[in-house]
Amino acid sequence: MQTKQLGNSNLQITAVGYGAWAIGGSGWQFAWGAQNDEDSIAAIHRAMEMGINWIDTAAIYGVGHSEEVVGRALNSWSGAKPYVFTKCGLIADAKGNVTKNLDAASIRREVEASLRRLGVDVIDLYQIHWPPDPDSPKLEEGWSTLADLKREGKVRWIGVSNFDVKQLRRAKAIAPVTSLQPPYSLVHRDVEEDILPYCLREGIGVIVYSPMASGLLTGAMTAERAAKLPKDDWRKSDPEFNEPRLSRNLALVERLREIAKRHGRSPGEIAIAWTLRNPAVTGAIVGARNARQAEGVMRAGELRLSDKEVNEIEEWFEETAA
């Protein structure tokens, strides 16, 4: 697979990386429901067999369990080791409820725990998962701590997730920002107006998450399946998976399916390729819960949509605008 440089780093990453959110399993606030660890490891291995060279996880996913599974997958993988990206700054209580914590001491505890669970000596990209409340000085404290960890050699590069332009500027005043990880998909396009153009101008790498809108645009989601999502799957209460938005989103999938048929691909791959066509985007994080799912989406980085196909998608939005 072709690679691109991530921001100011020396990391050359594939257009698609493996996303380990769902494989954290149940037991916390933003879980995707129960998950079989052996299926997860098989998915990671299949993604790497297909040429993916980076994995994105976070300490909060499954309250450490995702990192443990990634560590197991790395330990049992005999090929070239992928880059490992993880995140800090979200802490779960005994009931799995999540709060933000960018205290220096907390981040230092988190990085040590992540290194141990992942079974690595250094983390390739360490990211603040969510910014603190607006104007909180904790942003500066947290980002300064990540910069210290980079100088100390515990992490190679540092980035942020879910930051807006103002927050990126505050971080950049302390230390260079290698990358931003924002949500970006055909369902969530808010970052197009200010955030993506800013990152492009400033040379900040962008790795987008949920390019298939958390499974909504895969082509496998139906109204019946959405209605049957388990109670411990956070998507059950998400507005995009419920009416009135669900019907419109599924209609969008049918437009993607028409384009996908021409390429012999899935709607999900078209959705991923659509995010990658933006010049600000370096790579897209793509989840898979088993090897079969990985097989179906990890080649999306090789797919290029024509201007005509992009226009077809945009015309659908114009036609269905309320």
Residue 2 lies in a domain: no
| Sequence-ordered strand ranges (E) for 11-139 | 12-14, 16-19, 54-56, 83-88, 90-92, 98-100, 123-128
Residue 5 lies in a domain: no
Q: What is the per-residue pLDDT for 135? A: 86
As a whole number of angstroms, the distance between CA 84 and CA 284 comes to 15
Residue 80 lies in a domain: yes
Helices 65-75 and 37-49: crossing angle in degrees, nearest 10, is: 50
Residue 314 lies in a domain: yes
Residue 6 lies in a domain: no
* Residue 101: strand, helix, or coil: coil
Q: How far is C-alpha 58 from the geometric centre of its chain's CA atoms?
A: 10
Residue 181 lies in a domain: yes
As a whole number of angstroms, the distance between CA 181 and CA 285 comes to 9
As a whole number of angstroms, the distance between CA 123 and CA 100 comes to 21
Output the furthest CA–CA distance in the chain (Å, rounded): 54
Contact 241, 235 (CB under 8 A): yes
Q: Can you give the CATH number for the domain in which 48 is found?
A: 3.20.20.100
Contact 235, 229 (CB under 8 A): yes
Q: What is the per-residue pLDDT for 209? A: 96
**What length is written for the chain?**
322
Residue 4 lies in a domain: no
Q: Structure pTM?
A: 0.94
Domain with 36, as residue range(s), is 11-320
Q: What's the sign of the alpha-carbon dihedral 34, 37, 39, 43?
A: positive
Active site (annotated) includes residue 61: yes
Type and span of the H or E element at 70: helix 65-75
Contact 37, 68 (CB under 8 A): no
Residue 237 lies in a domain: yes
Residue 276 identity (one-letter amino acid): L
As a whole number of angstroms, the distance between CA 177 and CA 160 comes to 7
Per-residue pLDDT 10s for the chain (322 aa) are 889 999 999 999 999 999 999 999 998 888 888 999 999 999 999 999 999 999 999 999 999 999 999 999 999 999 999 999 999 999 999 888 999 999 999 999 999 999 999 999 999 999 999 999 988 999 999 999 999 999 999 999 999 999 999 999 999 999 999 999 999 999 999 999 999 999 999 999 999 999 999 889 988 899 999 999 998 888 999 999 999 999 999 999 999 999 999 999 999 999 999 999 999 999 999 999 999 999 989 999 999 999 999 999 999 998 887 5
Contact 298, 54 (CB under 8 A): no
| Sequence-ordered strand ranges (E) for 162-229 | 179-181, 205-208
SS3 content of the chain, % helix, strand, coil (to 5): 45, 15, 40
Which of 18, 61, 83, 126 is labelled catalytic?
A: 61
How many domains does the chain contain in total? Answer: 1
Torsion of CA 95, 98, 100, 103, to 10 degrees: 30
As a whole number of angstroms, the distance between CA 312 and CA 124 comes to 38
